[in-house]
Structure 1
């Protein structure tokens, strides 16, 4: 009869072998990972999330194919399809408590919270309204335009804004172009690419001296049942953070944009975010970009 020590060694060796075989199988199998197809395949807003996802997956060593969904999926529809395990198996979007209940978030802010740093798209006829804005109280007298299903809408409403809502972002640009609402707050991640198209079409421009900031994160989300994919993406992101490649991609993508928008010269009003889940890793300063000119002045 085998001694207890020999039996224990055999069990440990067997477990190690099984773990090795499972890991080898995971690396050898082809993972087909589908994300929501953007409105335009050249959409600059999707380029960074896709590049970061590729970087993270490369860090894991898995064999994968990353491809867009067969049809265009805007965020609301993509999240519903993800919840039902249909069409897509990863979506990047701004987080809130409801989304984290329904889906599995990978709690690494993929753009260091820039999704919550908002500059203002204006119709020229509304420009004079901003001349007298000296405080957040003044700002609340103006009407922002936002999407019906966006977490931003609830955040702005919770902070005392009367929000004009539309189904999706292109309609928001049309409404601003028609003089509806006073301003369209857009993330510094998005606004340059959008104004290149929508701004010209609607004769809009960017307010030059102010911004809003609220703490929030854009995460990768997967189905609650897809824990293996969640683990792969989280592992890859953490490895990219550790070796500096995450920061390198972030800086190369967004440093020129932040500079061109003059973020450090803007007066930034800070809002509360009541939708921010308690698990948000706010204490890890390495994961966040912090604007230099924050002000909560009322």
Structure 2
């Protein structure tokens, strides 16, 4: 009996040691763009969350670039990648397992507008939503935003991805390109030769969240990321990282005073934690 107990204790000790020594290999979809600055914040936040849990991990991109539709499909199939970040909707939460902590505090639902230089849209008199509905936005065909805009009466021109959307708006196949405030400044910085410029002082706002997602069966990884994010929120490091990345953008775009039109989001999942005020950016 003593020998059996010793063997059992040794086995448990070895198992714990192995678990502590094991390295989580966490693979995310590589961007289709070179030097994509939009990836900086989600990756830093994911590292922060994993660091808070104390696990050993290796965070790496997929072998090749992936458009959003393909990355969602591959994660659903549990192939090539095991985490991604995306705006949520009902369908996406049926396909994948969300970690329901809005990683950008809802700023993904604040949309400002890019348009070609010298376009009529940049100087058009837009006093209300009806005025804006006269113009056609361009969006990715698989982006949740497309359905939200359509549900609110916009005639949306669709593209396969960001690159094609930019080409279509530059070619005047659409009037404006709504981009979230967490993306728009980085995109302008990344492409200084772009023919698109920002229309200041005007925005759309709709309730939505960008989450980390994992495969439906990967409950352990979901719990790991959720635990790390909750610890980062509790000790203030989540907000510190958020404002490090977006505080200046919020000031530059003057979100406290911008005129915005609020849209309904019929795709917002029922379990979105809208009542937890600490998870959202709320302008004064």
In the superposition, the TM-score normalised over structure 1's length comes to: 0.88
From 249, 256, 265, give the equivalent of 2:248.
256
Residue 171 of structure 1 and its aligned partner are, at CA, apart by: 1.1
1:277/1:170 CA distance change after superposition, 3 Å: same
- Give a deviation string over 1:103-123, Cα, whole Å, max 9, x none: 100000001011111100011
Quote the Cα distance in structure 1 between the aligned partners of 2:122 and 2:198: 14
Whether contact under 8 Å (1:37, 1:70) holds in the other structure is: yes
1:259-278 mapped onto 2 (5 Å cutoff): 259-278=251-270
Deviation of 1:199 (Å): 5.8
Deviation at 1:200, TM superposition (A): 2.1
Instruction: Please give the alpha-carbon distance, in whole angstroms, between the structure 2 residues aligned to 1:28 and 1:128.
Output: 57
**TM-fit CA distance, 1:40:** 3.9
Matched, 1:193 2:186: yes
The farther-off stretch of 240-249 and 31-40 is 31-40
Alignment partner for residue 271 of structure 2, among 275, 279, 286? 279
Match in the other structure for 1:50: 43
Pairwise mapping of residues 1-298 of structure 1 onto structure 2 (< 5 A)? 25-40=18-33, 42-128=35-121, 130-198=123-191, 200-201=193-194, 203-292=195-284
SS at match of 1:185: strand
Q: Report the secondary structure of 1:219's partner residue.
A: strand
**Per-residue deviation, 1:39:** 2.5
TM-superposed CA distance for 1:128, in Å, is: 4.8
8 Å contact from structure 2 (residues 36, 190) kept in 1:
no
Whether the 8 Å CA contact 2:30–2:62 is kept in 1: the answer is yes
Note the alpha carbon deviations across 1:134-175, whole angstroms, 9 max, x for none: 011111111111010110000000001110111111111111
Consecutive unaligned residues of structure 2, counting only runs of 5 or more, are 1-7
Cα distance in 1 between the residues matched to 2:273 and 2:61: 29
Q: Which runs of 5+ in 1 are unaligned?
A: 1-13, 293-298
Contact map agreement 1:117 1:188 (CA 8 A) in 2? yes
Moved over 6 A (4+): 20-23
Distance 1:146 1:263 in 2: 22
> In the TM superposition, what whole-angstrom CA distance separates every residue of 1:83-117 from its partner, at most 9, and x where no partner exists?
00111000000000001011100000001011111
Contact 1:27 1:61 in 2 (8 A): no
The whole-number CA distance in structure 1 between the counterparts of 2:232 and 2:122 is 44
Corresponding position of 1:296:
none
Contact 1:199/1:205 (8 A) holds in 2? no
Give the secondary-structure state (helix, strand or coil) at the position aligned to 2:200. coil
